[in-house]
Structure 1
Amino acid sequence: MIVYNLTINIHESVHDQWLHWMQTQHITDTLATGKFDSARMVKVLVEEEMGGVTYSVQFTTQDRETLNRFYLEDAARLEQQALRLYGDKMLTFKTELEIISEH
């Protein structure tokens, strides 16, 4: 199983609006691609020197091929929506993780 992880630092001035959008639209739209089995959103419990609030959104998928199809078919559209709405108020980076075992 593969985890597609987005780590996002969001500026306080748009935090509440962004959080609502993430929970009601962006995560739903990403799951609607049919390429992910589940999603989890967690708050990162660290104070950033640059300010803002940091979150991790983790989408699980069965294999690398499915994640690659997401990149080819859906990622650009979803990223553009986020940039159009929050642009320079949001800093994002992606990490791909492979689940080795769960206990």
Structure 2
Amino acid sequence: MLLYNVTTIIEDAAADSWLKWMEDVHIPNVMASGKFVSYRLLRVLDSPNEGVTYCAQYVVEHMADYLDYQDNFAPALQAEVTALYENKLVAFRTLMEYIA
């Protein structure tokens, strides 16, 4: 099992709009790829950054599914968020393996 984490730091003024878009549009589109078995969306409470920090976490069972998502779904989904919130957020992505 793997955890794909997307940490986003978004300007205060755009945070509510972004959060609604994530819940109503983006996360359903990610899950519709069929590559992930579950997800969670978290708000970081003790972030040292300006703005609001969120983590969207998606659980994937197999590396092949993750790689297929990266090749066939991620580019369009990432382009959409960039177009909607250009210069209002910074995002970074990590892939982690469950140990225990």
TM-score (norm 2): 0.96
SS in 2 for 1:88: coil
Percent identity of equivalent pairs: 34
Unaligned runs of 5+ in 2: none
Alignment of 1:44-55 (within 5 A): 44-49=44-49, 51-55=50-54
Instruction: Give, in whole Å, the separation in 2 of the partners of 1:92 and 1:7.
Output: 5
Match of 1:11 in 2: 11
Structure 1: give runs of 5+ residues left out of the alignment.
none
Distance in 2, Cα, partners of 1:92 & 1:9: 6
User: SS of 2:86's equivalent?
Assistant: helix
Give CA deviations for 1:40-77 in whole Å, capped at 9, x if unaligned: 0011112434x100011100010111100001000000
1:32 is aligned to 32
Question: What is the Cα-based RMSD across aligned positions, in Å?
Answer: 0.9
Amino acid at match of 2:23: Q
In structure 1, distance between residues paired with 2:56 and 2:83: 19
Separation in structure 1 between the aligned mates of residue 47 and residue 66 of structure 2, nearest angstrom: 31
Which amino acid in the other structure matches residue 27 of structure 1? I
Q: How many residues align?
A: 100
1:75 match: 74
**1:47-66 correspondence to structure 2 within 5 Å:** 47-49=47-49, 51-66=50-65
C-alpha displacement of 1:100: 1.4
**CA distance, structure 2, for counterparts of residue 69 and residue 32 of structure 1:** 13
Report the alpha carbon displacement of residue 90 of structure 1 after superposing the two structures with TM. 0.7
CA 1:100–1:47: 2 relative to 1, 3 Å: closer
- List per-residue Cα deviations over 1:68-94 (Å, max 9, x = no partner): 000100000000000000011010000
